[in-house]
């Protein structure tokens, strides 16, 4: 059976943010819910939604906070404690400005690189020692403010690749749980968008 895992998709609540770059983590958790045939439900007394799934023989909690990204750590940490999930069994899926659009990078621990969702999670868990699936969204064009950029929707030209990216990030998050970090990294780490078939 083993210890349970938690896959958390970072993002902002509400329809106006649902399709934005900052919400790619939440999109991945939605994709996993669809894949496992479960739906996120409000957790009593915690500002989060969660669903239970099984990946191979691992028990997995899929989750998203219902607070804004920069305050998502405490509810996700509370949920992890409530469900008996060790920080070392938490996988956070999040947008990453420092990677080109379409890139994927998996890692354990390390710097949060100023990502407010990760800062909040590290502070809520009292450790940065959790897994991350870093989903590349690229840098803003020209002089656009990064804040405006991450809160803007993906462009029309990005949408086809976004489908593949969300699918691959979902696979990568599950692979960390079922196959371990090294195997998942060798399969999913990439510096740019997937090659077109």
Residues identified as active-site: 22
Distance CA 169, CA 172 (A): 5
Angle between helices 159-179 and 181-188 (to 10 degrees): 160
CB 96 within 8 A of CB 139: no
Q: What angle do CA 48, 51, 57 make, to 5 degrees?
A: 135
Task: Compute CA distances 165 → 16, 26, 190, whole Å.
Answer: 21, 13, 11
């Amino acid at each position: 059976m083993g210890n349970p895992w938690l896959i958390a998709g970072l993002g902002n609540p509400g329809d106006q943010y649902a399709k934005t770059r900052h919400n790619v983590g939440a999109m991945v958790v939605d994709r996993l819910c669809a894949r496992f045939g479960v739906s996120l439900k409000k957790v009593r007394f915690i500002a989060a939604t969660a669903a239970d799934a099984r990946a191979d023989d691992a028990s997995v909690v899929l989750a998203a906070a219902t607070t804004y990204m920069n305050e998502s750590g405490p509810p996700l940490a509370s949920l992890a404690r409530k469900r008996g999930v060790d920080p070392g069994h938490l996988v956070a899926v999040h947008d990453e400005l420092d990677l080109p659009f379409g890139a994927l990078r998996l890692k354990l621990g390390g710097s949060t690189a100023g990502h407010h969702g990760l800062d909040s999670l590290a502070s809520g868990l009292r450790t940065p020692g959790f897994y991350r699936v870093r989903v590349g969204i690229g840098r803003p064009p020209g002089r656009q403010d990064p804040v405006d950029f991450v809160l803007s929707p993906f462009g029309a030209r990005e949408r086809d690749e976004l489908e593949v990216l969300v699918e691959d990030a979902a696979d990568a998050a599950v692979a960390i749980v079922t196959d371990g970090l090294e195997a998942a990294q060798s399969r999913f780490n990439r510096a740019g968008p997937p090659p077109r078939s």
